[in-house]
Amino acid sequence: MTKPDDTPEPMLGRISVPKSYEVLADRLRQTILDGSLAEGERLPTERELVSQTGLSRGSVREALRKLEVEGLVKTKLGRLGGNIVSRPGNDSMAHVITQFVRGRRLSLRTLQETREALEPSLARLAAEHRSKDDIVRLRELNAEMGQALDDRNRFAAINIAWHNAVATASRNDLLAAFLYAISYDVVASTVSEEYDTPGLRKEVVGVHERIIVAIEAGDGDAAFRRMERHVKATRAKTRAREDSDLPPD
Amino acid sequence: MTKPDDTPEPMLGRISVPKSYEVLADRLRQTILDGSLAEGERLPTERELVSQTGLSRGSVREALRKLEVEGLVKTKLGRLGGNIVSRPGNDSMAHVITQFVRGRRLSLRTLQETREALEPSLARLAAEHRSKDDIVRLRELNAEMGQALDDRNRFAAINIAWHNAVATASRNDLLAAFLYAISYDVVASTVSEEYDTPGLRKEVVGVHERIIVAIEAGDGDAAFRRMERHVKATRAKTRAREDSDLPPD
DNA sequence: CGACGGCATTTGCTCTTACCATTAGATCTT
DNA sequence: AAGATCTAATGGTAAGAGCAAATGCCGTCG
C-alpha cells in the first residue's frame, strides 16, 4: 500500500484563505475585548469601516452580524444609532445553547441531568456569597409562588425566576447563565404535567423556604443537599417522560 | 414630575419592524430544526434563496452568517459547495461561551467554581453510562500522561483530553460541551505554575486511575467524590492567583 | 413664552449589478 | 489509461444607489 511518492514531504501546510468578513470580525472582536472600546461606546459607522478597511459594505455588515450573534455588539437604527459595544448577556448565550439543544435533539433526560448538576452547586455558592438583598428577593418570589398555587402557568413562571434568583445570588455569572439557558426548556417540558397539583405546589414552596434558610445561614452543605433533593424530586415525577425527545418548537 | 398625559393608555404595544435577514434566519432555522433538512444536506444556493424569498443577496448572506455562528450551517466554497446543514458542535458553543467569559472578564475563581460544579457530576454520569471503549480510552490517555511527566505542556494537554474523555463517557452532550468550552481557559490559567512539578504530576496520574476504577465499577458516588476532591485540590494549589482576572489573550 | 409640526441629517437597511475565486466534474490529449 | 485542460456551479467581494428610522433643530402658531 505504498502509494507513488510524488510528494513525499508536504513541505507546505494546507493554505487557508481567510475570508474578509472573518478577518474583520476577528479584529473587531479583539479590539472590543482588549478594552479599547468600553461598553456602550459606538464603533465606527459602517461607511467609516468601509473606508478604513478597504472592504465592501457587505463584508463589513457580515462581520458585524457575527459579532451581533456573539453578543458583543448591538445594532441600533437611526441617527445616533450605530453598532454599540455591549457585554455578552445571558440571552445571547442562551440563544446559542438553545440551538445546540434543539439541533442535537437532546433528550429531556440530558437537560434534567444538567440541571441536577448545576443547581446544587449554585445553591452552595449562593450560601457562600449571598447578600441581604438576595435573601429578600428569594423570599419575595417564594411568597408570590405561595399566592399562585391555583395558577399552574404563573406558578411555573415564578418558579423559574426563583431558581434563577438563587443562581444570581451565587455571584457566578457563568453557571447562572448556564442555568438560565436551560431553565426555559426544562420547564417547558415539565409544566402542565398531571403530577402538578396545588398540593404538590404548596410542598414546593415549603422546600424552597428551607433552602432559603440554609442559604441565609451561609450553610453551603445544607443548601447543596436540599437543592439536590429538590431537583431530583422533580425528576422522579417526570420519569414517565424520560428519554422522550423535546416537543417540536 | 407628572408628565403631560398626551397618551394616557398606550393601547398599542411597541411596534417592532423585523429586519429581513432576521426573518429569513428564523425561517431557515426553523426549517432546519424541524428536521425537514437532514444533516449534511445543502440548502438552496444563495441565488435560489434570493429568487425564492425576493430578498437581496446581501440579506440572504447576512442570515446565513448568523446561522453559521450558531453552528447550524457550514459554508463550503466552490462547485458543489453551498450552505450545508450541520449539527451544532462543541466548538460553536465553546466559541460563544469563550466570548462570554472574556467579554465579561470573568475571574479565574468563577471558572474554577464552574469546573467544580461540572466535573463531579460528569464523573457520576460516566460511571452510570460508560462503555468498555470509554474505559480503554481513559486508561490510554492516563498512560500517556504517565509518560509525559517531564513535559509540562504536553502533560497539560493530555490532561484536558482526559477530563473531556470522562465527559464523553457521561453521554451527556450538553454538560460535556460546557466542560469543553471552559477547559481551555481553565488550564491556560493553571498550567506552568510553580506547584506544577513532576512529583505532583505523578500523583495526578494515580488519582485519575482511582477515578477510572470507580467509573469502571459503575460506582457513581465514589466517582463523584473522587473527582470532587481532585478538582478541589487543583483549586487549592491555585489559590494564590484567585480573584485575579484572566491574562489577556 | 411654550408647544407643536415640519425639515434636515445621520445612520443602518435593502436592493441591484457585476465580476472574481474556488472547486469539482467533463473533456480532450497523449 | 493517465494526465492536463476546459467548463460550469457556487460562494466571495466590490461599488453604487436609494430607502427608512431616529434624532436634533428651528420656525411657526397659539
For residue B93, give the nearest of A32, A72, A100 by CB distance.
A100
Cβ-proximal residues to A101 (8 Å cutoff; 6+ apart), any chain? A111, A182, A185, A246, B174
Q: Is B87 in Cβ contact with A117 (below 8 Å)?
A: no
Interface of A with B in 168-227 (CB under 8 A): 172-175, 177-178, 182
Give me the CA B4–C1' C4 separation in Å, rounded: 13
- Number of structural domains chain A divides into: 2
pLDDT, tens digit (0-9, with 9 covering 90-100), for A228-247: 999 998 876 665 444 444 45
Report if residue A201 sits inside a domain.
yes
Give me the CA B20–C1' C4 separation in Å, rounded: 35
Same domain for A127 and A222, yes or no, is: yes
A49 neighbors A60 (Cβ within 8 angstroms) = yes
Give the Cα separation of A85 and A74 in Å (integer): 7
Closest CA to B164 of B195, B197, B187, B147: B187
Give the Cα separation of B184 and B165 in Å (integer): 14
User: Which residues on chain B are in Cβ contact (under 8 Å) with A173?
Assistant: 104, 106, 110
CA distances from B240 to A125, B203, B243 (A): 20, 21, 9
Indicate if CB(A19) is under 7 A from strand D: yes
Whose C1' is closest to the CA of A78: which nucleotide? Answer: D22
Cβ-proximal residues to A100 (8 Å cutoff; 6+ apart), any chain? A106, B71, B88, B92, B93, B174, B177
Distance between A54 CA and the closest CA of chain B, angstroms: 18
Give me the CA A79–C1' D24 separation in Å, rounded: 9
Distance between B185 CA and the closest CA of chain A, angstroms: 13
B83 forms beta bridges with: B75
pLDDT in tens, chain B (249 residues): 444 444 444 566 777 889 999 999 999 999 999 999 999 999 999 999 999 999 999 999 999 999 999 999 999 999 999 999 999 999 999 999 999 999 999 999 999 999 999 999 999 999 999 999 999 999 999 999 999 998 888 998 999 999 999 999 999 999 999 999 999 878 776 655 546 788 888 999 999 999 999 999 999 999 999 999 999 988 766 654 444 444 544
pLDDT of residue A234: 80
B100 neighbors B196 (Cβ within 8 angstroms) = no
Report if residue A249 sits inside a domain.
no
Same domain for A225 and A111, yes or no, is: yes
CATH number, domain containing residue A157: 1.20.120.530
Q: Does B228 touch chain A (CB under 8 A)?
A: no
Q: Using only C-alpha atoms, what is the Rg of chain A? A: 24
pLDDT of residue B241: 47
Report if residue A44 sits inside a domain.
yes
Beta strands in chain B (DSSP E): 73-76, 82-85
Parallel/antiparallel/unpaired status of strands B73-76 and A73-76 = unpaired
Same domain for B189 and B96, yes or no, is: yes
How big is chain B, counted in residues?
249
Q: Is A122 in Cβ contact with B122 (below 8 Å)?
A: no
Same domain for B40 and B134, yes or no, is: no
- Domain of residue B31 covers 20-85
Whose C1' is closest to the CA of B48: which nucleotide? Answer: D10
Give the count of alpha carbons within 13 A of A101, CB side only. 29
Q: Is the pLDDT of residue A124 over 50?
A: yes
Same domain for A59 and A157, yes or no, is: no
Give the Cα separation of A115 and A228 in Å (integer): 10
Q: Is B58 in Cβ contact with A173 (below 8 Å)?
A: no
User: Edge-to-edge strands of the sheet including A82-85?
Assistant: A42-43, A82-85, A73-76
At A83, which helix (H) or strand (E)? Answer: strand A82-85
Record the cell numbers describing residue A18, joined without a space. Answer: 481567510
Record the cell numbers describing residue A98, joined without a space. Answer: 438553545
Give me the CA A78–C1' C12 separation in Å, rounded: 6
- Looking at every residue in chain B, the average pLDDT score rounds to 89
CATH number, domain containing residue B47: 1.10.10.10
For CA atoms B66, B72, B78, B80, the dihedral sign is: negative
Q: Is the pLDDT of residue A133 over 50?
A: yes
Closest CA to A40 of A91, A98, A87: A87
Same domain for A135 and A33, yes or no, is: no
The amino acid that residue B245 corresponds to is D
